[in-house]
A and B are shown apart, each in its own frame.
Chain A
Amino acid sequence: MMAGRTFGTKLAAGFGLTLLLTLLMTVTSLAGLRYVLHTKDAVIDSARVNLVGAEALSALMESRIADYRGYMLAGTDEYLNATNTDRAKFLAQLDSLRGSIENANSKALLQKVADAEAVHAGLVSGLIAQRAKITILSSVAQFSGNEEVKAARVTVQKAIADLIAQVQTTVNAKSDDSSERAMWAMIFIIVIGVLLIGGAAGVAWKLSRDLKREVGAAVGHIQSSSAQLEAAAAQQAAGGRDQASAMSEITTTISELLITSRQIAESAQRVSKVAEETAEAARTGDATIDQTRASIAAIRTQVDQIVQHMLALGEKSQQIGGVVDLVSELAEQTNILAINATIEASGAGEWGRRFAVVAEEIRKLADRTAASAKEIRALIEDVRGAVNTTVMATEIGAKAVDSGSRQFDDATSSFRRIVGLVSTTSDATREIELSTKQQTTAVEQVNVAASDTARVTRETEASAVQTKQTAAHLSTLSGELLDLVGTGRH
């Protein structure tokens, strides 16, 4: 039922149970004591009121007897009043006893006493009346009825004695009953006490067993954990030493890294400066590019003009060729005519011979003209070939200029892209510079942090050593605690 409860709960429950039993025993003892006390009070009351009252009845009777005997002897009112007072007290005591006596026999005896006393009182009243009549008393014999009075007195005294005996018997019976009840109460209390002791012993045994079992197990765990903690602390101490040395190396490396980072920042600054100079040079080069483009356009125009001039020259050469063809045709015709004239002249005798000479000269002239025309034709062909070659070369040149212009445009766009890239590079370099400075700051902070960490590591190592010692101490304490709980060392 108590499984799973903490030992404190069990301890509290055990103490609570013990306390409850103690409380039960106290209440039971108090009840028993009260019961015994009540019984004894009843006995005492019975003894005090009834027995004493009965004894008082006897005493009052004896006092009345003495008083009325005195009156009999002296005849004074003093004794008369006294005897009347005594009777009144006797009757009052009798009434009191009637209220207090519970026993039936006692009540019967009390009634018997009252009856006897009434008889006795009547007889005494006769005697008192006789005495009142006697002035001088010389002998007892002067009174009549002495014997009756005596018998009545004896009867009353006997009844009182019986009553006293009966009350005494009743008191004794009550006393015995009370003693018996007190004894039962003691037996009950003893039984309760035994039960309480047994319960407390059981609780103590249970607690002791649980203490041994649970606390012993826990202490065993603590001991083993202490051993493990000790080993771990030793390992942590060794690790702390290694970590401290590693942190020292890290600090050194970070210092080198800091130096390198500063160098990188300086290099980035230089690169940024170079990039700015490059951008400036690129802007200057942009103007040069515009001038060069204008020059290329002018060259293109000039080349176009050259082509036009060359084409015009080709057309002129063709026209010259036409003229030369005409001249050649004329020369050929002249040649034919001269030959025919010679042929004709050969048949004209002496006159024809002279004409033939002229015709021959004309033919020679025509031949020379034809030869010259042929040469001119060849020259013109050469010129046309040269013009064609020049035109082709010029067109190739124009195409080359166009291609060069396009390539130059490409180069220009590339150049402008380079300018943009240089600008981007400059920005990036500035960002790198800024980042490197931030990195340097961060590395410095890391260096400080690493130094702190190294210090903390050394402190941790010291703490680990202390933890190891504490764990060893704890292990020893666990062993001692195990000895204390009685489980012994594991």
Chain B
Amino acid sequence: MRQYGQAPVLSEDEGTGVPALVFRAGPLLCALRLDEVIETMRPLETRPLAGTPAFVRGISVLRGVPTPVIDVSRLLGGGSAEPERYIAVSTDRGAVAFGTGPVLGVRNVEAVPSGGHPALLGGGNSRLVAGVGTLGTEPLLLLQSMRAVPDDVWEAAAAAGVAT
């Protein structure tokens, strides 16, 4: 039985946790559920988008669709870093591209729900982190993509997409 604050351990074993795509975002180790991930790709040409928060890198065209690009590292407060991969994630309002560090691969991640620790999951971005676990000796943040993009961003993206 796990105690409070004891992070669940990511495991390669089948049947434990949820399959998730593990990647780095700056100094942090993050994961996304596979069912939220559409695909991974190299960073595409991204145009800055005015009137958007700082963690929004801009807008890029993925498979013909204007898609907002979010800098995960900046979103999580780890500072800005040049993305190595784009991860296309499906949300309720369409696909969103996450600019991340190197993609480590698919793992079964067992994470505590984000409401378990207010120090980790509280604040303005608490809606992005679905849970917290570990991968080896490093902490792993399990993200939930549908809450990542504010509405005004979508609106701006939609405006940009109409404009394009």
B40 touches A346 (CB 8 A): no
By a CB distance below 8 angstroms, the chain A residues around B38 are 343
**How many A-B pairs fall under 8 Å by CB?**
35
A336 at the B interface (CB under 8 A): yes
Interchain CB contact under 8 A, B105 and A343: no
Complex alpha-carbon distance, A347 and B106, angstroms: 13
Which residues, 334 to 387 on A, are CB-close (under 8 Å) to B? 335-336, 339-340, 342-344, 346-347, 356, 360, 363
Nearest to B33 among chain A residues (CB) is A346
B42 within 8 A of A: yes
| B155 interface contact, C-beta 8 A | no
Contact B40 A340 (CB under 8 A): yes
Contact B40 A339 (CB under 8 A): yes
Give residues 381-404 of A contacting B (CB, 8 Å).
none
Interface residues of B, CB < 8 Å — how many? Answer: 14
State the CA gap A363–B21 with chains docked (Å). Answer: 13
A339, B34: Cβ atoms closer than 8 Å = no
Residues in A whose Cβ lies below 8 Å from that of B21: 339, 343
Taken together as a complex, chains A and B put the C-alpha atoms of A360 and B104 apart, in Å, by 11
User: Which range holds the interface residue count of chain A?
Assistant: 10 to 19
Q: Is the CB of A340 within 8 A of B106?
A: no
Q: Given contacts A339-B21, A346-B34, A346-B35, is CB(A356)–CB(B106) below 8 Å?
A: yes
Taking a contact as CB atoms under 8 Å apart, the answer to whether A360 and B40 are in contact is no
Residues of B within 8 A of A342 (CB): 34, 105-106
Name which of B21, B40, B42 has the most chain A CB atoms within 10 A of its CB: B40
A336-B40, A336-B41, A336-B42 as given contacts; A343 in contact with B103, CB under 8 Å? no
Q: Is the CB of B106 within 8 A of A343?
A: yes
B103 near A339: Cβ-Cβ < 8 Å: yes
Residues of chain A within 8 A (CB-CB) of B42 are 332, 336
User: Given A336-B41, A336-B42 in contact, is the A346-B105 Cβ separation under 8 Å?
Assistant: no
Instruction: Convert B30-60 into 0s and 1s, putting 1 for each residue whose CB lies closer than 8 angstroms to a CB of A.
Output: 0000110111111000000000000000000
Is A363 touching B35 in the complex (CB atoms < 8 A)? Answer: no
Q: Which residues of A contact B133 (CB under 8 A)?
A: none
Q: Does B83 contact A (CB under 8 A)?
A: no
Distance in angstroms from A88 CB to nearest chain B CB is 213
Nearest-CB distance from A238 to chain B (Å)?
119
Q: Which residues of A contact B (CB under 8 A)?
A: 332, 335-336, 339-340, 342-344, 346-347, 356, 360, 363
A-B contacts, 11 listed (Cβ < 8 Å): A335-B103, A336-B42, A336-B85, A336-B103, A343-B21, A343-B34, A343-B39, A344-B39, A346-B19, A346-B106, A347-B35
